[in-house]
């Protein structure tokens, strides 16, 4: 069965799902998106993702021409159309078609696209044995330019970092902010474990308010694991007992080496394994049925 893609209320076969070359999403990266997962017929953290999409759009003064409830219905409809129970949803809202100038006022109507597909970011081996990552030199955007909290279609800051990671022969990179503090990886938030406590950089370090990050923080509170949103340096990462990354697509992935330093004993840690197991339990209950 060919994949059906939702564009502005209609379904198109994968090969026919196209947008205009005058769409400002393409011309300027002017638009917002979300990556959402479903687990066995449940849209995980549905409200959180939809809220973040509308907040990103609001920050760009991009008015999404449907209510949040209608958006959830459109997502459900696309999942049903594709008969998918376990999917990765890419929800995109662009500024729409305009002319070749920047002016968003010339774009009459945002384009809404919903793709439901599968995603596997890393081979299973990395989940079993842990990732190796490096620090790269591209700084995370500062709030005064493109705020990292906006999940926009302009991901060049992250792509530049990803290119550096690939050049270094690894899959992921630690991005620092303009002050040299740890921000996040190219598409994932960072956590460390030290002496039984969890640490993650605060939002003001220049990170996306990750929904998986939020889920891990909630699990920590529930399990009475001390959790600190604290400014971190590379030194703190090097000397952590454990490290892991969080993201919708990656879920929770352990890190065992950074900048050629072993993290902890260089093996996937107990706390990380525990959190992975708790996270999987959460995916079975926290979401909207479709
Ligand atoms: N940081 C960045 C830059 C991201 O793009 C993402 C999403 N892939 C994350 C963190 C993780 O966020 P979430 O858990 O909401 O997917």
Q: What is the 3-state secondary structure (H, E, C) of 223-252?
A: CCCCEEECCCCHHHHHCCCEEEEEECCCEE
pLDDT of residue 59: 98
Tell me which residue has its CA closest to atom 3 in ligand 1.
Answer: 187
Q: How far is the CA of 290 from the centre of ligand 1 (A)?
A: 24
Q: What is the pLDDT of residue 66?
A: 98
For all residues of the chain together, what is the average pLDDT? Answer: 97
Protein residue with least CA distance to atom 8, ligand 1 = 187
Where are the domains positioned within the chain? Answer: 4-117, 124-282
Question: How high is the pLDDT of residue 1?
Answer: 78
Which overall architecture, per CATH, does domain 124-282 show?
Answer: Alpha-Beta Barrel (3.20)
Q: Pick the catalytic residue from 80, 151, 267, 284.
A: 151
Q: What is the pLDDT of residue 245?
A: 98
Report pLDDT digits (tens) over 216-266: 999 999 999 999 999 999 999 999 999 999 999 999 999 999 999 999 999
Determine which residue's CA is closest to atom 11 belonging to ligand 1.
Answer: 247
Q: Which fold has domain 4-117?
A: D-amino Acid Aminotransferase; Chain A, domain 1 (3.30.470)
151 included as an active-site residue: yes
Sorting pLDDT into bands at 50, 70 and 90, what band is 101? Answer: very high
pTM of structure? 0.97
Q: What is the pLDDT of residues 27-72, one digit of tens each?
A: 999 999 999 999 999 999 999 999 999 999 999 999 999 999 999 9
- pLDDT at 169 > cutoff 90: yes
In short, whether 248's Cβ falls inside 6 Å of ligand 1 is: yes
pLDDT, position 121 = 87
Query: Which of 44, 157, 188, 213 most suits a substitution to test ligand 1, by most atoms within 8 Å of the C-beta?
Result: 188
Quick check: CB of 212 below 6 Å from ligand 1? yes
In the sheet that holds 111-117, the strands lie side by side as 10-13, 4-7, 111-117, 87-94, 31-39, 42-44, 287-289
The closest alpha carbon to 247, from 187, 169, 158, belongs to 187
Q: What percent of the chain clears pLDDT 90, i.e. is strictly above it? A: 98
Q: Which of 7-11, 121-125, 186-190 has the lowest mean pLDDT?
A: 121-125
Beta pairing, strands 31-39 & 4-7:
unpaired
The terminus-to-terminus CA distance of the chain in angstroms comes to 20
pLDDT tens, 251-264?
999 999 999 999 99
């Amino acid at each position: 069965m060919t994949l059906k893609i939702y564009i502005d209320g209609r379904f198109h076969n994968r090969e026919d799902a196209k947008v205009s070359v005058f769409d400002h999403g393409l011309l300027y990266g002017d638009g917002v998106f979300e990556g959402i997962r479903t687990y066995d017929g449940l849209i995980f953290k549905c409200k959180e993702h939809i809220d973040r999409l509308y907040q990103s759009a609001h920050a760009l003064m991009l008015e999404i021409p449907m209510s949040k409830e209608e958006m959830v219905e459109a997502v459900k409809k696309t999942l049903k159309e594709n008969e998918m129970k376990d999917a990765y949803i890419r929800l995109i809202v662009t500024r729409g078609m305009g002319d070749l100038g920047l002016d968003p006022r010339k774009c009459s109507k945002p384009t809404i696209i919903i793709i439901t597909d599968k995603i596997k970011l890393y081979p299973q081996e990395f989940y079993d044995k842990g990732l190796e990552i490096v620090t790269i030199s591209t700084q995370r955007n500062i709030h005064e330019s493109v705020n990292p909290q906006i999940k926009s279609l302009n991901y060049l800051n992250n792509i530049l970092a990803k290119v550096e990671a690939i050049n270094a022969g690894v899959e992921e990179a630690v991005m620092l902010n303009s002050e040299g503090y740890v921000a996040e990886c190219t598409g994932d938030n960072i956590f460390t474990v030290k002496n039984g406590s969890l640490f993650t950089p605060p939002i003001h370090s220049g990170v996306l308010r990750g929904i998986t990050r939020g889920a891990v923080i909630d699990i920590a509170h529930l399990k009475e694991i001390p959790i600190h949103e604290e400014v971190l340096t590379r030194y703190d990462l090097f000397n952590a007992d454990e490290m892991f990354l969080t993201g919708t697509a990656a879920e929770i992935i352990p890190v065992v080496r950074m900048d050629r330093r072993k993290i902890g004993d260089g093996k996937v840690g107990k706390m990380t394994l525990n959190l992975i197991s708790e996270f999987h339990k959460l995916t079975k209950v926290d979401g909207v049925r479709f």
